[in-house]
Amino acid sequence: RFESFDRLMSALLTQELREILTEIPQPQPDAGPARRRAVDLIVAGTQAIADHPLVRRGLAVDPEYLTPLMVTRFGQTQRSAAALLTPLLAAGMTSQGGDGSIRDTDPAGLALACVTATQSFIFAAPALESRPEGAAALAQLRPLIAGLLRPDTQGETP
């Protein structure tokens, strides 16, 4: 039993999105540098969530209901996604004993930054898809995340 329809929808959305996160194929350590594996995982997860029928329907029918999930708190799904990413990001950081393909910083903080950056692509997907240049905009997710993870070669954070 749920206290309200909102609680029911929140529980359903959390369950569905966590299932997506567990179904995304995890990159194998021998599949190349950690940065490439992380970018592939992040892009695949973002696309899977953006394409999920419940997310699509929610954005079409009541986007105001979903907005607080993005702007006022980090819910279970976001925390799960960040927890999934953190060890993969650490595997690319020299300071964490990784391969050096990801800039050295706090891996958990970088995972949260990745989750935050991808949310805009999830929530804006329907609007972008309705525009002629939308596909080109959606294709910028991969270079955006790759740039966010790129190691600092100049001794400065970009």
Output the six-digit token pair for 98.
Answer: 């990784």
Q: What per-residue confidence (pLDDT) applies to 25?
A: 78
CA atoms within 13 Å, Cβ hemisphere of 126: 14
Confidence tier at 152 by pLDDT (50, 70, 90): confident
Q: How many CB atoms lie within 10 A of CB 32?
A: 13
Residue 55 φ then ψ, to 5°: -65, -45
Across the chain, what does the average pLDDT equal? 88
Average pLDDT over residues 135-150: 95
How far are the Cα atoms of 33, 107, 153 from residue 143, in angstroms, in the given order?
16, 19, 17
Query: What predicted TM-score, i.e. pTM, was given to this entire model?
Result: 0.87
What is the tens place of the pLDDT at every residue in 87-142? 999 999 999 999 999 999 999 999 999 999 999 999 899 999 999 999 999 999 99
